[in-house]
Structure 1
Amino acid sequence: MGSTIGQLLVIIFIPIWLATAQNDDFVYLRALKENWENTPPSWDDSSDPCSGWDGIRCTNGRVTSITLASMGLIGSLPGDIGQLSELEILDLSYNKGLVGPLTSAIGNLKKLTNLILVDCGFSGPLPNTLGDLENLVYMSLNSNGFTGPIPPSIGNIRKLYWLDLADNDLTGSIPVSNGRTTPGLDMLTNALHFHFGGNRLEGDIPARLFTSNMSLIHLLFENNRLTGPIPSSLGLVKSLEVVRLDRNLLTGNVPPNINNLTGVFEMFLSNNQLTGPVPNLTGLNVLNYLDLSNNTFARSDVPSWFSTLQSLTTLHMYNTNIVGELPAALFSIPQLQQVDLSYNRVNGTLDLGSTHSDQLQSVNLQNNQISDFSQRRQYSNSIQLTLVGNPICLESGVTDRFCSPPTTNNSLYSTPPNNCVPTTCGSGLVSSPNCRCAYPYTGNLFFRAPSFSDLGNSTVYQSLHNEMITSFRRSQLPVDSVSLKNPTKNLDNYLVINVEVFPFGEERFNRTGIIGLGFSLSNQTFKPPREYGTYFFIGENYDFLLGASGTGHKSSNTGVIVGAAVGGCVLVVLLVLAGMYAFRQKGRAERANHESSPFALWDATNGSGAVPQLKGAKSFSFEELSKYTNNFSETNNIGAGGYGMVYRGSLPNGQLIAIKRATQGSTQGGLEFKTEIELLSRVHHKNLVSLVGFCFDQGEQMLVYEYIVNGTVKDSLSGRSGIRLDWMRRLRIALGAAKGLQYLHDLADPPIIHRDVKTNNILLDERLVAKVADFGLSKSLGDANRTHVTTQVKGTMGYMDPEYYMTQQLTEKSDVYSFGVVLLELITARNPIEKGKYIVREVKQAMDKSKELYNLQEVLDPTIGLSSQLKGLERFVDVALRCVEETGNQRPTMSDVVKEIENIMELAGLNPNAESASNSASYTDGSKGGYEHPYTNDSLFAYSGDHFPTKLDPK
């Protein structure tokens, strides 16, 4: 009998094992589950991780994302994680119970782009295999217990944008490369963020670390044990915006060329052992926050550059050996909030000026040599002035309030109720700003380099509050309101703000909501206002989830239950389970077959061509997209065009998408539909709009794109978007769009001609980065002929290459011509054809190369900026006019155009490798209403072959 049962069990389980082995990702996920306690209940309720496991996202049956922030996980990260070869995102942040070393198998995840392990309990040395993550863009390992040196191999990750190893226990020196054999951090020329504060790094800052081709904007080495001088090579990194080298053991003179860093907003060099003269910071005109305190500078006169820094909010230079009388002009700096020059040798009469800054909060001059105060009689408590320890306070009978020790000014700010009366709530519940009782998700925001020091200014917190609400709702997170509380400065001089996020429509968040919120904050999806600078978030476990057991995963009881079953009951149960499993696997196989061959029903006779050849685009069902758009509701409709309607939606992972839905039953656009899928599925560049997927189901044709929030360049030039584009931003937009086209021409295989380049097809993301869109008219240059393709003329009037129109031979130079028109449109903000006038001819007729700005003042967009600010405009016009030469062989390539725009940007004082704005909020004028969405397909005089004018004069 026992032998018979054993044979039956083998017969039952071998097919199950073989079916499971077809997708090993499920096996390795289950291994993770066995290593962790407190996994979501859905991990027990479903045997298929791709169908219902909270925090798991799959593409074509392969696991591509694991996001489990603030889930209270307990355990370690086993080597099985390295077997998930398609994994792109790993976020386990805010799980203090995850401990032990970071497995070296992490280096096997060749497709990983985001590695986020913020505020866990990991320890031990960082594995050298981190350097094998060749596609990694974002690495946040801060706030753990990692020890040992920084692996030099990280220098091999050339795509790395964000590197945060702060607040660990790392030791050793800063690794730099050594010839061709040893990598180092100096090789990360594309990185914008070096965050290494709060470790025990030692040794000199290598001069080799910095080069002029770096893109760094944040350099944070505060609170380490670094020694030696500040290298003069630091002055080469002109893209820098924040420099924190404070609380180290640095010595020597501050390099004179530090004033080359004209883009720096915050500079902290305090609490070192720096010597020599106080550095000359003339020219740092955007500097907000300066702290040079507690150094051993040589005796220096009060710097003449004090009053020239007109953007200063905070000046901290206590104990810096400054001698002399302070200029009254210092206190008239418009945004000045706080001055601390205590423990120096400031003398003479203090004059705060007759028109000091109306934001000035405190002036600390204690322990100096001030003998008089010109505003003594008019002094009031509007400014906290501290002169204790000066001769003026030693006069007989002096009782002036400014002769008392300074008092601590703690801010008690809290987000006020939103025109309602706070509710009295039960145990654990909190009244939200909308006066509803709920269980909030809580944590602390840490801002490492804020540009302000007035902690009592409610206006600045309101802007942060509004931006958080907007960001969470933009990401389709179920958030009702946000409360900010108790802003303080900690010992690291970070601004710390307590955050409570309240759920929408419910008393508590579900797991999906918490995971989405945690990822938004750990992955920096939320962008604070610029004055807050860079941040990190430390979230707390959310203990109010329905069904949270807190006792580990359910599988721990499975063995007991199975062990209790006996004899024939076991066999019956197993047979039933096997049948159910086989039925489920059959359904999964059918779904997988549909996903692998989504065009089985493609009708090649409808004018849409042969079955598309795809590379990685996701196939969505009609039901899925209907769910993501709230059944294609009117509120989700964001535009309409010749293609059909455009809807905004949100994927289960929180990603916003734009869905172009073809008109029901229409075959028009079928070829464009196929073309966009084929092209966009195989092109990937930061200056091209990404195709997320498509739907070819139930007679529907839908394209799913990433959602681009700030509309088209045309919207901004016309004023409809409310985004203000000055000369510098237009240069960045021109460069971004040029790089996108250069990629299509030079790096796509085979090369791609866009065929419809125009400002309506260049979109701006939240950082105003330009992205080329709409590939419905694009053509590939096949292997047979890579010089041109003979095709029916299509394009948009005003942008079209006249040579292509006359010969029907489409070349890459046709895109160059259209881009030249875009460049002219960027500086004039005029339509290519307006009131019968052609922009190319108008510019040529108006220009005079012998005069300033080529005498184009009359045709330039008045909002572009002052004439004195338009550095490089003449060369920009030259490039544009070369692009619109009558014949293609006279035009430059897009590669040549990119190089020339980069040269123009350098001439204008911009770093062409630096990112655009941190967000677009500061570039809107607030006066504009809604505008047509960028995915709308009705743009200027779209032409498809039959209705083009018989003659177009390119001159």
Structure 2
Amino acid sequence: MSERILVVLLLALNCLLVAKGETADEDFTTLRSLISTWKNTPPNWVVSDPCDDWEGIKCKKTRVTSITLSSFGLGGPLSGDIGSLSELEILDLSYNKDFTGPLPQSIGELRKLSTLILVGCNFNGPIPDSIGNLQELLFLSLNSNSFSGPIPPSIGSLSKLYWLDLADNQLEGSIPVSGDDIFGLDNLHHAKHFHLGKNNLSGTIPPQLFSSEMALIHLLLESNKLVGSIPSTLGLVHSLEVVRLDSNSLDGPVPPNINNLTNVRDLYLSNNKLSGPPPNLTGMDALSYLDMSNNSFKPLDFPEWFTNLKSLTTLKMERTQLQGQVPSSLFGLVNLQTVVLKDNKINGTLDVGSSYSRQLRLVDLETNSIDIFKQNEVPGVTIILKDNPICQEIDERAAYCSSYKSNFSYSTPPNNCVPDTCKSGKISSPNCICAYPYTGTLALRSPSFSNLDNNTRYLMLEESLMRYFKSHFVPVDSVSVMLSHQIMDPTQYLKLNLQAFPSGQDHFNRTGTSQIGFMLSNQTFKPPQPDFGPFYFLADKYEHFGNDEGLPESGKHSNIGIIVGAAVGGLVLLVLLLLSGLYAFRQKKRAEKAIGQSNPFRRWDTVDSKSEVPQLKEARMFSFEDLKKCTKSFSQVNDIGSGGFGKVYKATLPNGQVIAIKRAQKESMQGKLEFKAEIELLSRVHHKNLVSLLGFCFDQGEQMLVYEYLQNGSLKDALTGKSGIRLDWIRRLKIALGTARGLAYLHELVNPPIIHRDIKSNNILLDDRLNSKVSDFGLSKSMIDSEKDHVTTQVKGTLGYLDPEYYMSQQLTEKSDVYSFGVLMMELISARKPLERGKYIVKEIRNALDKTKSLYGLHEFIDPAIGLSSTTLIGFDKFVDLVLRCVEESGEERPKMSEVVREIENILKSAGTNPTEESPSISSSYEEVSRGSSSHPYNSNDTFDLSAGSPYPKVDPV
């Protein structure tokens, strides 16, 4: 059969593949495993490809990156297999009330996850601590489930987190804050939302939870079991807009500095045991809603400062021991809508005045001591004076002597049409079309209004929803908002019933309900601000997807047709697969022959012919033309350094990735075996504190290595001032820690272990956040013989850093790197070269050391850029002790690198610094300081071997 016919058959095969053609094998297997435990999955999930056809599944190339299945009617447990979707960025399973069971620990394996939303399901059990592994997480919403146990402290390690909503669960225990070896919510400086209400949280509100560095706008802790006083540190968070501490057991006085929160619109302190005088809130000009009811405040005449709150719409002070007379000027606040002062000791005359706010609707002074009401009628305002002397003695039949009962309700009016009489459970929409709407409850957690009879407000909400749906192409014809007279629950949430009607048909498909659910669950829709405030949405179960998506009889017949068609197609596929296999085999042989002729990498002479090709995991082989093109023919413009090995160029790959290319000079090129060994070594080490090898070139007589590009250059440049980067004490500790972690990985986690053999400041590179990365593995050695603790090899290294024991014995061990690292730590302290003007830094520091003096008497050695303050150099003595252990003459007396890591972590913790927290990005330009220098951090030009002479005086072996 000719090749042309085979190509045609292969194209036909590609069109016929329906079982799994586009999704990566591992993701396809994981999805199949997940849905095997779920109920009510869509029919098309059975026979089609997830990346092409599965509703709610989105992919990039062949990897699943988004799962948004809100309101799908799914049920069952969430399998631990979810952790295998390593490229997943968004997971939203909201409003599937039949999802049950715990959240698996493997959720922490989704390292690229940025959005996790499980609102309104029925998950239970503890929130797994592994959630702290999701370092890319921006949005975490687990509210309205049945989660129990404590809030995992590991959430505090999510430095990028913007939204945290754990409300309406059964969480218990205290609010976690950072301490020894633990994280806490106080570390979430970028988070704007702490929604933790309606749980069983206990203990005090920790003072260290708040700081001036936080960006919080919503703090919701209502309806818990919190005790103790309100910490004064709350007044430091000037960004706050909504504060709800109501319905707890908080006591003591309200801190007076709470009036520093000048951006707060809604302040709820009600239903606690607060004492002392009510706080003076003068200066809180944005305050709209204030509720301090049901507390044990000290008896106080009605505060005049209430009349200074120009934005006030709602004042609630029930049972707070207020006394005296209410000034008429209070009612003149232009935005005032509601005043509730029930069960107090207010007396004298009630005078609303003639200039009262035109928005005023309710003044409730039930159970007080008012004996005179100056105006018997105030048009448009409900006045309640029941159980006051005026009603008991003068006019108990007056309207204002009755209890207040709200009878307000609202529903969207028809849009200039006559509502239809609908059948089969359908509802007439605002456009008078019968359909099955998507429904749910929109709960406003702190509305800034209390005047509920303003229809314009709800029409504005409906219009805002419709504009949003249309702009995002969601198939919604109209929306309806409804309120009944029972609109406020005990938590004082304002609950609205929301209906969204489908466009073009009488029901939604799953894609439509999922779109609506996702927009409301992930808070991308923002209601008109500031009136509506923070909200959450709980969808009702949608059961009207229709025959096209359910499994009634017609669906069953169509599925039978699919199965028969699939069986027939399977036979055709079998034949085509056999033919395509023969074709692929033939093409593979041709390709291998071509590669063997053109690629010198395949023709290297080796001792063992079976190991001709380097065993590469992630490194890419570049052609000479590839690198020539991206460096503009290795132009001088892209030359960023040179050394004994050759030159280093900055370049940009076609995909936009910036790289550094290390190009060997002809006279310095290694042998083929050595170059191959270095590439194989580098391709199997992957750690955030090691410079990544991206690829190599062995083409047209060239030897080139391609690395990730690090813009802040070498540690040597930073210490000498060439890069313009100032390294304070904490940054130096973090650089030491990152380097130690990289070495510990090479020594203890790589198999077989690797000894770097050339640790020095020029081989430690700094990224944009000043994270340190170990580079230049040209002298590295693998510990291939597992029965030996050393490698006997020719001495190579760098003057000043070389381990004397290795030099004398020619036996290289992991402790040789430890010695070099100790010298590097001395360099971090002093910014001096290890060997300078005939003086050796190790000997100099040992001779000057005096542990009876402050800073061990090493003032003259400390880099002035750090400073000499003992308060600045926290942990300096412990750091020097560790340095001296690292440079012990005997390798056995030196610590392992893993021990060094732990020691530096402890020093950072004692300095009040989180060892895992990265520094912010800085703007220093690596390119500017490196170009034209005599050496470059991607290569070493001052290494030596034994024939070059000794860096140390000759010592007779013991």
- By how many angstroms is 1:538 displaced? 0.4
Residue 676 of structure 1 deviates from its aligned partner by 13
In the alignment, is the contact (CA less than 8 A) between 1:262 and 1:286 conserved in 2? yes
The aligned runs of 1:933-952 (5 Å cut-off) are none
Q: Distance in 2 between matches of 1:387 and 1:587?
A: 93
Distance 1:81 1:391, change over 3 A: same
* Residue 396 of structure 1: how far off its partner (Å): 4.2
The alignment partner of 1:352 has SS state of coil
Distance in 1 (alpha carbons) for counterparts of 2:571 and 2:149: 54
Cα distance in 2 for residues equivalent to 1:268 and 1:561: 61
Residue 423 of structure 2: aligned partner: 426
The TM-score with structure 1 as length reference comes to 0.58
Q: CA deviation at 1:403?
A: 1.3
Shift in Å, 1:579 = 4.7
For 1:804-824, what per-residue CA distance to the aligned partner results, in whole angstroms no more than 9, with x for missing partners? xxxxxxxxxxxxxxxxxxxxx
Q: Residue 107 of structure 2: SS of its match in structure 1?
A: helix
Tell me if the contact between 2:363 and 2:384 (Cα under 8 Å) persists in the aligned partners. yes
After TM superposition, give the deviation of residue 578 of structure 1 in Å.
Answer: 3.5
- CA offsets 1:712-747 (integer angstroms, 9 cap, x no match): xxxxxxxxxxxxxxxxxxxxxxxxxxxxxxxx9989
Partner of residue 27, structure 2: 25
CA contact (8 A) 2:59 2:66 kept: yes
Distance change in 2, residues 1:363/1:586 (3 Å): farther
Map of 2:38 onto structure 1: 36
TM-superposed CA distance for 1:433, in Å, is 1.0
What does the per-residue CA deviation read over 1:79-99, in whole Å, with 9 as the maximum and x for residues that have no partner? 110000000000000001110
- In the alignment, is residue 116 of structure 1 matched against residue 102 of structure 2? no
Please tell me whether residue 100 in structure 1 is matched to residue 97 in structure 2.
Answer: no
Offset from partner CA, 1:374-396 (integer Å, 9 cap, x none): 112xx145211011111111224
The equivalences for 1:114-263 within 5 A come to 114-179=115-180, 181-263=181-263
Question: C-alpha displacement at 1:529, in angstroms?
Answer: 1.0
The DSSP-based 3-state class of the residue aligned with 2:520 is: helix
Match of 1:482 in 2: 479
2:455 corresponding residue in structure 1 = 458
Structure 1 pair 557–548 and aligned structure 2 pair: CA distance change class (3 A): closer
| Counterparts in 2 of 1:578 and 1:533: CA distance versus 1, 3 Å | farther
Q: Is the 8 A contact 2:547 2:554 kept in 1?
A: no
Question: Which structure has the larger Rg over C-alpha atoms?
Answer: 2
Q: 1:481 to 1:609 in 2, by over 3 A?
A: farther
CA shift for structure 1 position 474: 1.3
Alignment of 1:5-24 (within 5 A): 23-24=25-26
Q: Partner residue of 2:412?
A: 415
Determine helix, strand or coil for the equivalent of 1:50: helix
- 3-state DSSP of counterpart to 1:472: helix
The alpha-carbon deviation at position 299 of structure 1 amounts to 0.7
* Cα distance in 2, alignment partners of residues 316 and 461 from structure 1: 24
- CA distance in structure 1 between the partners assigned to 2:116 and 2:294 by the alignment: 37
Letter in 1 for 2:522: N
Q: State the secondary structure of the residue aligned to 2:304.
A: coil
Using a 3 Å threshold, how does the CA distance of structure 1 residues 56 and 231 change in structure 2: closer, same or farther? same
| Alpha carbons of structure 1 residues 558 and 202: separation in structure 2 relative to 1, 3 Å | farther
Q: Which amino acid counterpart does residue 277 of structure 2 have in structure 1?
A: P
Q: Name the CA distance, whole Å, in 2 between partners of 1:319 and 1:609.
A: 77
The answer as to whether partners of 1:39 and 1:553 remain within 8 angstroms in 2 is no
Going from structure 1 to structure 2, the CA distance change for 1:45 and 1:610 (only over 3 Å counts) comes to farther
Partner SS state of residue 46, structure 2: helix
User: Is the 8 Å Cα contact of residues 508 and 545 (structure 1) preserved in structure 2?
Assistant: yes
CA deviation vs aligned residue, 1:550-579 (integer Å, no higher than 9, x gap): 6799999999999x99xxx99988544535
> SS state of the match for residue 493, structure 1?
coil
1:578 — aligned with what? 574
Q: CA deviation at 1:675?
A: 9.8
Letter paired with 2:483:
N
Q: Is the 8 A contact 1:44 1:553 kept in 2?
A: no
Partners of 1:30 and 1:554 lie apart in 2 by 25
| Cα contact 2:120–2:145 (8 A) shared by 1 | yes
CA distance in 2 between counterparts of 1:587 and 1:325 reads 97
> Aligned partner of 1:394: which letter?
Q
Contact 2:22/2:62, CA 8 A, preserved across alignment: no
- SS of residue matched to 2:235: helix
Deviation at 1:436, TM superposition (A): 1.5
Separation in 2, partners of 1:273, 1:369 = 24
Report if the CA contact (8 A) 2:23-2:51 is conserved: no
Distance 2:418 2:19 in 1: 60
Question: Contact (CA 8 Å) 2:548, 2:555: kept in 1 or not?
Answer: no
Alignment of 1:320-399 (within 5 A): 320-376=320-376, 379-380=377-378, 382-399=380-397
Q: Which amino acid aligns with 2:58?
A: R
RMSD of aligned residue pairs (Cα, Å): 4.4
Letter in 1 for 2:502: P
- 2:81 counterpart residue number: 80
Three-state SS of the structure 1 residue aligned to 2:349 is strand
Q: Return the alpha-carbon distance in structure 2 between the equivalents of residues 451 and 492 of structure 1.
A: 15
Unpaired segments of 5 or more residues in structure 2? Answer: 1-12, 585-624, 634-650, 660-708, 715-766, 768-920, 925-958
- Map 1:747-896 to 2 at 5 A: none
Correspondences of 1:273-312 after superposition (within 5 Å): 273-312=273-312
Q: For 1:423 and 1:171, how far apart are their aligned partners in 2?
A: 50
Tell me the secondary structure at the aligned position of residue 532 of structure 1. Answer: coil
8 A contact 1:16–1:578 mirrored in 2: no
Q: Which amino acid aligns with 1:205?
A: I
Go from structure 1 to structure 2 and tell me whether the alpha carbon gap of 1:354 and 1:215 turns closer, same or farther (over 3 Å shift).
Answer: same
Alignment match, 1:449: 446
Q: Are the structure 2 counterparts of residues 172 and 485 from structure 1 closer, same or farther at C-alpha, using a change threshold of 3 Å?
A: same
Instruction: Give the whole-Å Cα distance in 2 for the aligned partners of 1:16 and 1:467.
Output: 42
Aligned to 2:5: none
Q: Tell me how far apart the structure 2 counterparts of residues 253 and 586 of structure 1 sit (CA, whole Å).
A: 84
Q: 1:398 to 1:30 in 2, by over 3 A?
A: closer
SS in 2 for 1:26: helix
Q: What is the alpha-carbon distance in structure 1 between the residues aligned to residue 713 and residue 466 of structure 2?
A: 40
SS at match of 1:461: helix
Following the alignment from structure 2 to structure 1, what is the Cα–Cα distance between the partners of residues 555 and 166? Answer: 35
Change (3 A) 1:52 1:390: same
Provide the residue aligned with 1:928 in structure 2. none
Mapped partners of 1:570, 1:280: distance in 2: 75
Amino acid in structure 2 at the alignment position of 1:105: S
The match for 2:935 is none
Pick closer, same or farther for the CA change 1:748–1:264 going to 2, 3 Å: farther
**Cα contact 1:20–1:27 (8 A) shared by 2:** no
- CA 1:119–1:381 in 2, change beyond 3 Å: closer, same or farther? same
Q: 2:612 matched to which residue of 1?
A: none
Number of corresponding residues: 604
Partner residue in 2 for 1:60: 61
For residues 162 and 432 of structure 1, the distance between their equivalents in structure 2, rounded to whole angstroms, comes to 34
Aligned to 2:527: 528
Aligned residue for 1:305, secondary structure, equals helix
What does residue 547 of structure 2 align with? 547
Give TM-score, length-normalised by structure 2.
0.58
SS of residue in 1 equivalent to 2:135: coil
Tell me if structure 1 keeps the 8 A contact 2:42–2:550.
no
Structure-2 separation of matches of 1:31 and 1:552? 25
- Relative to structure 1, is the Cα distance of residues 527 and 396 closer, same or farther in structure 2, using a 3 angstrom cutoff? closer
In 2, the alpha carbon distance for the partners of 1:182 and 1:38 equals 41
Report whether the alignment pairs 1:436 with 2:438. no
CA distance in 1, matches of 2:558, 2:282: 71
Q: Which residue of 1 aligns with 2:937?
A: none
Name the structure 2 match of 1:69: 70
For 1:524 and 1:37, the matched residues in 2 are separated by 27
Partner in structure 2 of residue 499 of structure 1:
498
User: Are 1:44 and 1:555, in contact at CA under 8 Å, matched by a contact in 2?
Assistant: no
Taking the aligned partners of 1:304 and 1:27, their CA distance within structure 2 comes to 69
